[in-house]
Structure 1
């Protein structure tokens, strides 16, 4: 009951936020923007969103196999698109779909820890590259963004580039961090540390393999492709509504919009995504009604993909 109550409150919070954003942007104007959307750009955005998630499914499969949890391309695609449907309908943003992927991979006979780590690292890989591309986009949009923070343009660019570089190099410290955590446990904390060591064992074994850097490069390439396609989907939704801003602006905007949509405070990111779209696109002169429309269109892309996944691959069941 307590879990169901939390889920209900999350859903109500997201709906309340969405309602507030629509009210501030003027519902009539938002509806007018959506009615004038150009079908060609809408279809192009949907195609880019589907391509993004196909690459995401293949990235997850490659990571799972590297960790020792094998699955075929069809299974990876089916479970990934089923997870998209769950993410779009359940409170908790991406958490419900991620949990489903881990559980269904385990039920397919794969190792529990390897299945769980594959989902965790797949999600982290996407967020890692999302923030990196957002940082580069922010640096390219310094003339619009630096005044918002009341920073000199040059200082803002230097800060963004330095932070993005450090962020991109962060995974290289993973082997060192895991080796540093191997210290001898004290008598009082031996049990707890042994349990932590057991959970980290698959990850530690994977990063110590000689192909760690090759796998890291493969994940980075796949994650970059996912985020570029996602940015293209968002931009196509904007173009459908007549929003014309540069690619650098969209590269920046995907970070706050997608991060807010992933927060476990709404159903399918509704409300948080639209609020972030208004804030992220405002420095580029995008009206609130159009920004909300962009967020709504991207949310509809997720719903359509969940429905297509159910039709093409079947609904999530108790057994894979």
Structure 2
């Protein structure tokens, strides 16, 4: 229920801050280095720009031509709605699909582009997380990884996970060529056999890898701003649960769920709870200016085209 989310979303964030020592979090934020925060903002902007490029690539592949400036504008407007409405990124994603539909894209291509765009990012996030864990094990970080439940598995568990995640979409694409192209499966099989799917898959791999590494860099800059001495690979490993929890449709823009996940994920690597919460808060804070730009674009669009008009 929407009203329940409206109540629970801020309560969740306040609860996390209260449990982990609100005063301690405040001290961390007051002492944050503005220079590193600025760098984090730059990485965040770059990540969202590449995200818009990745989405545009999908839109073009699905048959709708759209300018990058228009797609980036819709992306920022979606960010604004995700930050203002309960439901995290769900509301913003729905708005993006509707925006494409109003621009002339078909209902199926518009919705499929947003869904595939979101899945592409989440998939690559877990690939990088598992790959970073495997690499860290071979680089002498066994003790830290044992603390997160990898005892006795060595580097093979995360390496196997990374390879499995890489193989899954390739297997699905190949299997689609033998699925019956009829009934409810027709659109799905048509998607997997669409011309240029191999090239588009490669573009999604590249774009999603860049997006996630830039996003992790923004998260790591938040840690640098607080003076934390944490290796970059730790942020890559922990970004998967942190970003995934932020995407759950139970909060405003991931506030609260992201901070709770940061506490749990960073604790095994020696990061105190107030510092972990402060890192997650800084990551959310650097996204706010972009959301505000998106809000301005949204208001301007609504003035030109009132809600409900064709």
The separation in 2 between residues aligned to 1:316 and 1:236, in whole angstroms, is: 34
> Partner of 1:117: helix, strand, or coil?
helix
Equivalence map 1:245-260=2 (5 Å): 245-260=230-245
Question: In the alignment, is residue 236 of structure 1 matched against residue 221 of structure 2?
Answer: yes
The separation in 1 between residues aligned to 2:298 and 2:95, in whole angstroms, is: 15
1:183 Cα shift?
Answer: 7.2
The separation in 1 between residues aligned to 2:148 and 2:195, in whole angstroms, is: 45
Checking the alignment, whether the CA contact within 8 Å between 1:261 and 1:269 is kept in structure 2 is yes
> Partner of 2:155: helix, strand, or coil?
helix
The answer for the alignment partner of 1:47 in structure 2 is 42
The separation in 1 between residues aligned to 2:16 and 2:168, in whole angstroms, is: 36
Find the partner of 1:293 among 278, 298, 301. 278
Find the partner of 2:64 among 54, 57, 69. 69
Checking the alignment, whether the CA contact within 8 Å between 1:125 and 1:219 is kept in structure 2 is yes
1:150 Cα shift?
Answer: 6.1
Checking the alignment, whether the CA contact within 8 Å between 2:259 and 2:277 is kept in structure 1 is yes
The separation in 2 between residues aligned to 1:26 and 1:130, in whole angstroms, is: 30
> Partner of 1:257: helix, strand, or coil?
helix
The separation in 1 between residues aligned to 2:176 and 2:8, in whole angstroms, is: 38
The separation in 2 between residues aligned to 1:91 and 1:313, in whole angstroms, is: 17
The separation in 1 between residues aligned to 2:252 and 2:203, in whole angstroms, is: 32
1:180 Cα shift?
Answer: 4.8
Q: How many residues in Structure 1 have an aligned counterpart in Structure 2?
A: 300
Checking the alignment, whether the CA contact within 8 Å between 2:12 and 2:256 is kept in structure 1 is yes
The answer for the alignment partner of 2:84 in structure 1 is 89
Checking the alignment, whether the CA contact within 8 Å between 2:82 and 2:88 is kept in structure 1 is yes
The separation in 2 between residues aligned to 1:8 and 1:127, in whole angstroms, is: 28
Q: Deviations over 1:24-72 (max 9, x none)?
A: 2111110011001111000100110010000000100011110112211
The answer for the alignment partner of 1:60 in structure 2 is 55
Consecutive unaligned residues of structure 2, counting only runs of 5 or more, are none
Find the partner of 1:168 among 162, 166, 169. 166
The separation in 2 between residues aligned to 1:313 and 1:93, in whole angstroms, is: 17
Q: TM-score, normalised on structure 1?
A: 0.88
Alpha carbon RMSD of aligned pairs, Å? Answer: 1.9
> Partner of 2:164: helix, strand, or coil?
helix
The answer for the alignment partner of 1:215 in structure 2 is 200
Residues 243, 71 of structure 1: CA spacing in aligned structure 2 closer, same or farther, 3 A cutoff? same
Q: TM-score, normalised on structure 2?
A: 0.91
The answer for the alignment partner of 1:191 in structure 2 is none
The separation in 2 between residues aligned to 1:146 and 1:122, in whole angstroms, is: 33
> Partner of 2:110: helix, strand, or coil?
helix
Find the partner of 2:252 among 251, 254, 267. 267
> Partner of 1:60: helix, strand, or coil?
helix
Consecutive unaligned residues of structure 1, counting only runs of 5 or more, are 1-5, 185-193
